[in-house]
Each structure stands twice: as C-alpha cells, then as structure tokens.
Structure 1
Amino acid sequence: MGWPLLIAVVLFAVAGPVACLYLWNRVKGRLAVAVRLFMVVMCQVFALTVGGVAVNHYFEFYASWSDLFGGGKGEDTPIEQVGPGAVGDGHVRFHHTPKLDPDVYTATLTGERSGIRSRILVWVPPGYNAPANAHQTYPVVELLPGYPGTPSTWFHAVHGAGALKEAMASGHSHPFILVAPVTTVVHGRDTECVDFPKGPRVETWLTDDVRQAVTKAFRAQPDRGAWGLMGFSTGGYCAAKMAIRRPDLFSAAVTMQGDAVPQTPEVRRDRALNAQNSVLDLLRTHRPPVGLLLAGTRQDRHSDDAINQIMPLIRPPTAAFLFVLPSGGHNASVWNSMLPKAYAWLSGRLSAPRPS
C-alpha cells in the first residue's frame, strides 16, 4: 500500500468537506437532516482513513491488500543457508492459567541476578504431564514479543503454541517447552533487552534469571544445545543480539523482521552501550557458534535492510539462514506464516526430548 493509496485518501479527505459545504443548503425535503448527518459522518470516515493509511504507510504493518485480508503464506518459501560474506527455582511456584491456554503456567518472580520483578509464561507440549513421560526432558524456545507487547501476545495474535502443535502433528517439529517472559519490565519504556549501567538489567533477566526459574520448575534441558530464542519485531532484534552475546546459553535464534541495531535514543546516545547491543557491531568482533534464522519480507523495507546489513558480517562458526517472503508487511499475519518453518528449523538446531 504505497503512495497512490495515501494520495487518494488525502484527496478524498479534502474533497469531503468541500462537497459537504457545497451541498449543505442544496439538500431539501424530509431527508435533509439524514443526508446532512451522512455527509458529516463520511467526512469523519475520510479523516480517520487518512490517519490509518498514513500510519500504515510509515510502519508498513500491511504491505498489500492480500496481506491485510490474510495473505502472505510462508509454506512455499524455502529457507536458504548463506555462506560467509554473502549479501542478501525451586522457590518459584508456577500457577496453571487455563483461561489463557490449557497448557500455560505463569509465575511472578524476582530475578536473583537482575533484581527485576516480573512475570513469565511457560507452555508445556502435549504429553508433558502424562505419567509415561514423567522422566522426559525437553528443549526450550524462549519467545520474545515486540514493543509495546506482552508475552500473552504469543498465545493470542501470534499463534506460538498452536503453530508448534501443528508442526508436531505433521512431524516437522519435535516438542519444545515455550517460555514467554515479560520484556517491557518498565512500563512505557522500550529497553530493547539491554543491561543499562544504572538498571534495569533486562538482558540478565531474560537470560540468566528466566533460565534459572524454568530449569528449576520444569523438566527443561539446561545445556546450550537445548535452548533457542525466537522473537518478532523488537523481540526479533533481541533474539539475535542475545544469542550472539550469550552463546554459552543459546545455540540458535530466529529473528522475524527484527532490527540490526538499537533504535532507542537512550541506547544510541551512549556509544559504548550502542556498540555492545548492535547486532552489526557484535558480528564484527564476535564469531559465536550459533545459528541465526533471519526471516523477513521484501515489502518490509526495514527488515529487508537489516538482513542485507547482517549477512556480509557472518563468519564461521556463526551460521546464517535466510527465510525471506516475497510479500507481507509488519504484522501478526506474516509472523504466523513464518512459524511452521521456524519451528522446523529450530528442531534441526536444538536437541530433541530425551530421558533425564
């Protein structure tokens, strides 16, 4: 939805009041009041449409009509591996929350290392509570939302659990425990998963503290080969950044339309902090043994640019894979279409369930 649509709705928004003024006293008869009311309402509709189209034009939530009405399927787009330089607690009690999802548990806790007090949602796969699987341990995928966003987004607008169950049923993915922590630990502040010198230590919360709580309360495999990250938008940037910074904890990350560099002015103003949290700067100095799945669309220029900036910096043992759809904006419909192949890719990178 480019400039032609935006220009068209602006013209309609200007023409509406002009037509209203011209026709106001020319409307006669018993229906005059109803017709005038209709004209006023249409002027309001045109004004609201301009606002909506302008916001969509800037942020590219929807890139086409098919995208808006459910297009952008990802099953026909291959994942491509790209070579170097190519462009292109035991003290935490989790409570069952069946209203959110029959298999979701939640807990509010204070991280031992970060000092952050916040919430974690944990989804367990089908069969987790069956007596026959009492000694089965599972790999983990940590799910990160965008900003502003909450972990419950992964179980509503973005079908994190539903897509995994379908992938498991079709044999394309093995079971994972899904962990969705709160990332916006300070209301109204986009911290971009950064450890700020004076706090909050958001990255420490999302890595060390969340991991400790989950491995103590659930049968989650603790080694790095069993833990992956996946996020959309800002959460996608966080997933890639934290996998690069903490290869001792994670071996794979999926970034769905994530940025390559921090966007928060508070981070960008601090040169050292910006460099420590820029995916580009990190890849220039780090070669962690992790796999990155860079997912985006050609119509979402921000994610496409980010992918093209990241790819030339990939060097072994870091491995990069591309999953770029030809169309689609920056929205939940696109992210949902990416999930089946993302889970299949993670199954190939992370360990399978195994006996304890």
Structure 2
Amino acid sequence: MHASAIRIDTPPFVVGAAVVALVCVAVVPWAWDRWRRRRVTGRVVTTVAAVVAVVLACGSAVNSAGSFYPTLGSLLGTSPDPAEGTVAEGGPDGRDLGRAMTTASDRAGGGRGSLVHLTVTGKRTGMTRDVDVYLPAAYTQPEWAGFRFPVVEWIPHFPGEPRQVATLYGLPEQLDAAIAGHRLPPVVVIVPDPNGEPRLTHDSECVDAAGGPDDDTFLSADLRGWARDHLRVRVDRQGWSAAGWSSGGYCALDLAARHPQWYGTAVSMNGYDVTPHDVQTGDLFRGREDLRRANDVSAILRDHPAPLRLLAIADASAGDECAALDRLRAAAAPPAELTTRVLPAAGHNLATVRAELPDVLNWLGSQLGNPVAGPDVPGQNAGTIPAWPLPDTGSPGALHGTDTSL
C-alpha cells in the first residue's frame, strides 16, 4: 500500500495515536525500576518514546481538525497517481485531449461532466505541473459546439494537489449538480497544482517569489495561454474566475487582485489576505517590502482599485480568518464589490469546505457569464481593465511592470 492511500486525518487514526501515547506514558513509571543491567539506556528510551508518542498524538489531533495532511503521502510529499479521481488522460500539454473527448462524450449522455488529467508546461516560466480540467457535459454536445465556456480556476489548498479536489472535496459531483440545477452555467474548471513536488516545507502561496519560482506567472499567464490555445473557453475577464479554500482562497484573491485585466471574480473560502511567514513558507520576498505589499490583497484593493467581485468566507471561531475579513472590508471600495460571510463555528477542515461548496457555486453562478457563441475576439485576451505595474522579482520569466504577454 502506498503512503498516499493511508489516511492520517480520520478519528480512528487519532484515537489509535492517543492510545499508543497513553501506553507509552504508562510504561515509563512501570518499567522505571525494572531495568537492571541497562537501566540508564532503558529509562532514556522509554521516556523519549513516550514524549514522541504524545507529540505525534497531539499533532494528529490538530491535523485531523484542520485536514492539513489527509494522507501520509501528502505529509511526505509523494504522489504515485496524480491522475487519481479523473476519468481520462489528456497527456503533456493536453496533446491527447482529442482521445479524452470520447470518454467525455459518453459521460455527457448521462448529464455528467468529465475530469481530465494532463500536464502543462508554461511558455513563460518553463514550469511543468499537473493540471486537472473539468469539462461540463455541454462541452461535447453538438448543440454547444460553437460555444466558448466561462472558466473557474480552482486552486487547491496547501499541501493539496489537483487530485484531492476531486477525491476529498467531491468537486466534480458538486459541479454536475449545480449545472443540472441551473444554479451554475456550464463551466470549465481548471485545477492546477500550485506547489509541485516535493510538498513538505514547500508552501509557495501562489506568488512570484523573489528570484523565483514564478508560481503566480504560471497560474495566471501560463495557464490562461494554454487554455486559450487548447480549450473552447472565454478569455475575457467577465468569463474567468478564481476560487479556493484555505491557502487556495488567498491564492484566488491575490491572483484576481494582481491581475484584474484577466480575472473578474474570485472566491476565498476560509482564507486570508497576506502570505504567512512561517517554517513551511519562509520569507518568499526576501525582505523586499515592495513584493510583500504587491501580494497583500487588502493593500492592493486600496492602492489599485479595480471592478472585481469578491466573495470572502470565514469561520466564526477562526480569529485569523475574521481579522482578514475586517481588513478586506476596510480596504474594499468601489469599483470593487466585496461580499463577506461569517459562518457558524465548524472548524478549518474538509467537512467544512464540502458543506460550503453548494453556496459558493451558487454565488459563482450569479457572477459568471454564460457560454458565448463564436470564436475568440482578437485583443479580448487583455480585457478592458489595464494592468497595474507589478514589481520585478528578478526572475526572467515572471510578470512585471504592465506586461500581459502569455
């Protein structure tokens, strides 16, 4: 069994870890006077084992409450099957999408969309990442052949990856239900890997870090350019949205605020407005205040107002989430439209995100444009909102200034 199949966020695992910890603690006084020849070694070993067991038990309880590492594989940063949860393979840069359409067409007959796995290599960054693409049932139906579909770019949480959005969030099924219920237009959902391997201690926060890597540029420019060239999607800002949970929520807000020429709407579920500076993230900006401020969503809303429609959700028991909402409310002003929701305390966990998804999809359905007939309009790619000047990170491929080339 691979590490990715071993769940470490379930109640049985937490209870088991607690029982092991209690046994280890009980062994220390019980065996204290029983060590005769190797007394010092035995006492040290049992004491250290008890301490380690208690720390692991506490850690597993915290992990279960927050669903930070759902599997042992996610903790170790291993991914044996990045296509898990998908129904077809699209190949490198989507070269095999044509063959995947056969599977998608068969599923569309039952009103089901299809989640296709592929990899994308960015033209600007040269980065290669796993990407899952949800194609609605309408995408392969003859009557929709001449239409271009709106896009939601769904950013997985750290240390998540695209396959977890399907297997843990149940997003494809939620999308099928929302579209069938006419609460959401037929929409293409692009789920990229925002971090890449290895995941442990590698939280990119979807930003262009000082000197690289250029995660923001990959997620905004590279993915957009790839989708424009390989999918029937809208590329105007009214037809392109970003969304995510936890760190993915911050990513969604930051991408939209930094690139209002490309994004019209964004949703943050239990996210925040500034990058953390901790063990897993480090100092992404190497002390540069201009880069830090250029990735502070509240500061961007004040410094570079744009007609964005944003939804930010917080849990009533999460002080950091509520504080972020307060900062966003204080910063947002017309032409930006900010909707905030504080939900009853339920914890920062996967059960919460699954419960929130239907309402989030409803909100997106009220904001996103419908599929449009006809080919892409030249020049539509840049939208009608000018880009604001991004600071130079020092990395050759990263977006900077008012560069909007894909």
* TM-score past 0.5 threshold: yes
Opposite residue 175 of structure 1, the aligned amino acid is P
Cross-structure match for 1:246: 259
Which of 61, 67, 82 in structure 1 is aligned with 2:66? 61
Cα separation, 1, equivalents of 2:303 and 2:64 = 31
Structure 1 length normalisation: TM-score?
A: 0.75
Cross-structure match for 1:295: 313
Cross-structure match for 1:165: 176
Contact 2:120 2:223 in 1 (8 A): no
Cα separation, 1, equivalents of 2:320 and 2:30 = 40
Structure 2 length normalisation: TM-score?
A: 0.67
Cross-structure match for 1:326: 344
Q: Displacement of 1:103 after TM fit? A: 1.1
Stretch of structure 1 that moved more, 158-167 or 237-246: 158-167
SS in 2 for 1:273: helix
Q: Displacement of 1:350 after TM fit? A: 1.3
1:260 aligns with 2:273: yes
Summarize deviations over 1:265-314 as a string: whole Å, max 9, x none. 32253322211111122123121110111012112232222212221111
User: What RMSD, in angstroms, separates the aligned Cα atoms of the two structures?
Assistant: 3.3
Stretch of structure 1 that moved more, 51-60 or 201-210: 51-60
Summarize deviations over 1:19-66 as a string: whole Å, max 9, x none. 8569x9xxxxxxxxxxxxxxxxxxx9998576444564599517xxxx
Taking structure 1 as reference, are residues 311 and 56 closer, same or farther at Cα in structure 2, changes over 3 Å only?
A: farther
Cross-structure match for 1:119: 130
SS in 2 for 1:265: coil
Identity of aligned residues (%): 28
Q: Which structure has more RCO (C-alpha within 8 Å, separation ≥ 6)?
A: 1
Cα separation, 2, equivalents of 1:107 and 1:197 = 28
Aligned length: 304
Q: Displacement of 1:132 after TM fit? A: 2.2
Cα separation, 2, equivalents of 1:167 and 1:242 = 25
Cα separation, 2, equivalents of 1:105 and 1:91 = 12
Cross-structure match for 2:192: 181
Alignment of 1:1-356 (within 5 A): 16-17=26-27, 51-54=56-59, 56-57=61-62, 61=66, 92-95=94-97, 96=100, 103-185=114-196, 187-188=198-199, 189-263=202-276, 264-267=281-284, 269-356=287-374
SS in 1 for 2:353: helix
Cα separation, 1, equivalents of 2:360 and 2:272 = 18
SS in 1 for 2:182: coil
SS in 1 for 2:225: helix
Cα separation, 1, equivalents of 2:263 and 2:174 = 22
